[in-house]
Every structure is written in C-alpha cells, then in structure tokens.
Amino acid sequence: MPTLTEPKLIAGNANLPLAESIASRMSLYRGVDQELVDARVERFNDGEIFVEVFENVRGEDMFIIQPTSNPANDNLMELLIIADALRRSSAARITAVIPYFGYARQDRRTKARTPISAKLVANMLTGSGIERVLTMDLHAAQIQGFFDIPVDNLYASPIFALDVRNHFKGHMEDLMVVSPDVGGVARARELAKRINAPLSIVDKRREKPGEVAEMTVIGDVTDKICLIVDDICDTAGTLCKAAQVLMDKGAKEVHSYISHGVMSGPAVERVTNSVMKSLVITDTIQPTEAILKAPNIRVVPTAPIFTQAILNIWNGTSVSSLFEDKTLVPIYESLYR
C-alpha cells in the first residue's frame, strides 16, 4: 500500500548534530534530499520559548528530534511548543523522537509526598498533540505504560554488542559483563546474552542519594575483562568506584558501556583519572567538548538506528526488527567492518 504522506524532520536545539546526521542518513537511505524543516526556535529576553515553522507541513508525517537532556526543562518546553506549532499547522501525525527521556529516573514514589514526574511528562507530551514516541533505553520499562499513545523503546545493547565484538576480537572468552547494581541486571544480562559472556553484579548500598557507602562484587572477576553496563552516567561517582572495586577484586581491565552520557559536574575528570580503560557512550545527548577530548571516552553514533526506526514507523513496518543482528549489522557496517 503506497504511503500518502512524506516523512519530515524538525529539531529543537538539544542535539542538532544528531538531528542533522539522521537527516543526512535518511537522504542516503531514501535517495531523496532530506533536510530538517526550516524553522526557528528562539527565546525572548525573559526566557520564553518561541517557535516558527517556515515550511508547509499540512498533511505531513512529522518527526521532532529532541532529547530532554540538560537543561531538561528548556528542552522539554521546546519539544512541547514545537509539537503545538505542528498540530496547529495541520500536520497529519506528530512523532516525538526523544533519544534521551529526561525525568525517567522519577518513575515511582520512593517515599511519601513525592511526585511521579515521568508520568507528568508523559501527560504533557500527549496533551501537546504528540501521537507517538520513539526513544532509547528508558530508565524503567514501565514508563511506556505511562503513555496512552504508542511508545517505541530502542535498545543500545545491540549496538554495544557490535562494538564489543569489534574491539575485543580474540579476547571474547575473557569478557565478563557487570551490572553496577541489582536493578540493572536485566539490561546487563541482555548484553551478556548477545556476546555470550558470564554476568556479575556489584551490589551497592547508599547512605543517602548520590553517595555510595559500600560495594560488594557478586561473582568471580579474577583475570576478567569487565564490561560495566548501565543506562545513565551522571556524575560518574558510582561508576568509577565500581571500576576500582572490580580492579581490587582481581579484574584484568575494566571498560564501561553506558547508553546516556549525562556527564554532569566532575564526571569527565573522574572518568579520565579512573582505572577504567574506556567509557563508551552514545550520542543520544550531545557530547561536550570535554567528552570528545577525553582520552578514554568514546562516542558511538545512534543516527543509523534512529533513522531506520523513523523510516519503519513511517512505512508502518516493524521497529523491533532492529534489535536483531541481521537487521542492525547492515546499517552499521561502515562503522564495524
């Protein structure tokens, strides 16, 4: 059945390099020049956000590319206002491509009189006219249930598996996947299964938020190349301490694979000075100059998988097929040969 609408991409200011890379790849995949929709997203002197779309989007299938990373509130408001502008301009469908979903760590009430902010954000997105969400590695899977619209959650683990197989050739039998906490075991197990490696866990106990009091390694990591797997690296305190604990327990090397490099405050300096051989993050959040210059931090691109997911949504075909190597390898073959 022929597609009646054209896919059009529009971006906020949160991660323009990723949006431009997606547009460039879509041009390559479709054989049609695909540029970001001409628009301006600006701020008045008092900080109010103003959006103006300069192209006709009536009846078009619109994709807004905007992670809600730091500054989370500004980027979230940009996304909501862009969606409202498109809805009022009679776009046929509006999909929010949110590579990093901010507020995802507030997915439940941990104590009395606290909000569930992830649910509030879901309500705001739906109310703005967004009809579908495409994201990557939600902090908690149940966030998909906060929405009354379809949510496609991509995973970084298939991309990480390709990277691991490429960078650890000849040493695959020495690898040990490590979850930095009990809550992340499912995520770590997924990568361990893909690369056929054993799994270990670092059990941590916190005295208060942001501080780790004690860490215990569950599993034998002696002479192993440990790969710590997690979804978010914020200040990198826990990550660097876990790496040190693993080395103290006899690990040969420690590397980390993190989906979203939030990298707040002293994070880059901590990683640079840590015992970690490498930290691999994706570009769901635009890397800072400090991250790009750090000797032991690498950034892997997500544009190939997001581009294909957008095309699959537009065509009405499977997005979950991108979790399989036979589908993912061809779109990353230029990076991992």
Three-state SS string across the chain, please? Answer: CCCCCCEEEEECCCCHHHHHHHHHHHHHHHCCCCCECCEEEEECCCCCEEEEECCCCCCCEEEEECCCCCCHHHHHHHHHHHHHHHHHCCCCEEEEEECCCCCCCCCCCCCCCCCCHHHHHHHHHHHCCCCEEEEECCCCHHHHHHCCCCEEEECCHHHHHHHHHHHCCCCHHHEEEEECCHHHHHHHHHHHHHHCCCEEEEEEEEEECCEEEEEEEECCCCCCEEEEEEEEECCCHHHHHHHHHHHHCCCCEEEEEEEEECCCCCHHHHHHCCCCCEEEEECCCCCCHHHHHCCCEEEECCHHHHHHHHHHHHHCCCCHHHHCHHHHHHHCCCCCC
Report how far residue 35's alpha carbon sits from residue 308's, in angstroms, rounded to the nearest whole number. 16
Main-chain dihedrals φ then ψ at residue 322, nearest 5 degrees: -75, -5
**Region 110-129 average pLDDT:** 95
Going by C-beta distance under 8 Å and a sequence separation of 6 or more, which residues neighbour residue 128?
A: 79, 80, 81, 83, 84, 87
| Predicted pLDDT at 243 | 96
**Residue listed under structure tokens 């109310």:** 127
Q: Name the pTM for this structure.
A: 0.94
What is the predicted pLDDT for the residue at 325? 87
Q: Binning pLDDT at 50, 70 and 90, where does residue 6 land?
A: confident
Catalogue the active-site residues: 204
Q: In this predicted structure, what is the pLDDT of residue 206?
A: 63
C-beta of residue 219 within 8 angstroms of C-beta of residue 186? no
Instruction: Determine the Cα–Cα distance for residues 174 and 191; give it in Å rounded to an integer.
Output: 15
Q: What is the pLDDT of residue 335?
A: 79
> Is the predicted pLDDT of residue 13 greater than 90, yes or no?
yes
Residue 226: its pLDDT value, please? 98
Q: Is the pLDDT of residue 247 over 80?
A: yes
Cβ-contact 215, 241 below 8 angstroms: yes
Mean pLDDT for the stretch of residues 209-222: 79
Residues 6+ apart with CB under 8 A from 151: 132, 133, 134, 135, 143, 144
* Percentage of the chain lying above the pLDDT 90 cut: 85
Q: How many CB atoms lie within 10 A of CB 7?
A: 20
Chain-centroid distance, C-alpha 25: 18
Instruction: Judge whether 177 and 227 are in contact, CB under 8 Å.
Output: yes
Segment 153-177 mean pLDDT: 95
Q: Which residues are known binding-site members for ATP?
A: 46-48, 105-106
- What are the pLDDT digits (tens) for 121-137? 999 999 999 999 999 99
Binding residues are: 46-48, 105-106, 139, 181, 206, 230, 234-238
pLDDT digits (tens, 9 = 90+) for 39-70: 999 999 999 999 999 999 999 999 999 999 99
pLDDT at 209 over 60: no
pLDDT of residue 2: 44
Angle between helices 72-88 and 117-127 (to 10 degrees): 20
pLDDT value at 149 more than 60: yes
The Cα 14–Cα 80 span in angstroms is: 13
Q: Is 30 left (phi over 0), alpha (psi -120 to 50) or beta?
A: alpha
pLDDT of residue 1: 39
Residue 204 above 80 pLDDT?
no
Q: Given a cut of 80, is residue 213 above it in pLDDT? A: no
Question: Using one digit for the tens of pLDDT, what is the confidence trace for 262-312?
Answer: 999 999 999 999 999 999 999 999 999 999 999 999 999 999 999 999 999
Residue 214 pLDDT class (50, 70, 90 cuts): confident
Q: What is the mean pLDDT of the chain?
A: 93
CA–CA gap between residue 256 and residue 322 (Å, rounded): 23
Alpha carbon of residue 56 to chain centroid:
30
CB atoms within 10 A of CB 2: 3
**Binding positions for Mg(2+):** 139, 181
Return the amino acid letter for 4: L
pLDDT at 211: 59
**Domains, in order of start, for the chain:** 7-155+303-331 (3.40.50.2020), 157-300 (3.40.50.2020)
